């Protein structure tokens, strides 16, 4: 991966999850969160901190991938809500969290970064179906 900073960065040094899709700009990975099996991240392939460090066209391309991940997860899991977030306080390498949320999940209606409200009811993810859906939706982005 293209590493522009001398400091170690786990998203420069590793895929950051189980890669479902990738192009030159970014990749979509399954995080492998036990409580949130459908939790995906869209990770920029370059070490950049903020969306406004990218030009407008590149921002738009990245967001199309984020929204494709949202769409694929919605179609597959019918979640109560999708949570989207680009925080990066700990790893300042652009990555978007795309998290399908359910009324009986561990933190609902709080954020997944807050206090747990219950043990949670993880829903297994059909990885192959998610990957197929993503590839179909992102084919349109590439064209």
Residues that bind a second copy in the complex, under the rule CB under 8 A: 49-52, 56, 59-60, 63-64, 67, 70-71, 74, 80-90, 92, 101, 108-111, 113-115
Q: Comparing C-alpha atoms, which of 135, 128, 127 is closest to residue 22?
A: 135
For residue 99, give Cα distances in angstroms to 55, 68, 111: 26, 13, 10
Query: How near is the Cβ of 134 to a second copy at its closest, in Å?
Result: 13
The least CB distance from residue 114 to a second copy, in Å, is 5
Query: Smallest gap, in angstroms, from Cβ of residue 82 to a second copy?
Result: 6
By beta-carbon proximity to a second copy, the closer residue of 23 and 80 is 80
Comparison of 44 and 70: residue with beta carbon closer to a second copy? 70
Q: Tell me how far CA of residue 63 lies from CA of 11, 126, 141, in angstroms.
A: 18, 24, 10
Question: Which residues contact residue 74 at a Cβ distance below 8 angstroms, ignoring those fewer than 6 apart?
Answer: 82, 100
């Amino acid at each position: 991966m293209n590493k522009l900073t001398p400091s170690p960065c786990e998203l420069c040094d590793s895929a950051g999850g189980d890669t479902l899709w990738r192009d030159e700009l970014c990749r979509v990975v399954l995080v492998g969160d036990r409580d949130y099996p459908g939790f995906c991240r869209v990770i920029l392939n370059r070490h950049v901190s903020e969306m406004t460090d990218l030009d407008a066209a590149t921002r738009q391309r990245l967001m199309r991938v984020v929204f494709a991940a949202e769409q694929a997860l919605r179609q597959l899991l019918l979640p109560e809500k999708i949570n989207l977030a680009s925080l990066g306080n700990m790893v300042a390498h652009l990555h978007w969290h795309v998290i399908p949320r359910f009324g009986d999940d561990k933190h609902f209606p709080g954020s997944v970064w807050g206090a747990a409200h219950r043990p949670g009811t993880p829903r297994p993810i059909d990885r192959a179906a998610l990957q197929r859906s993503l590839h179909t939706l992102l084919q349109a982005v590439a064209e």
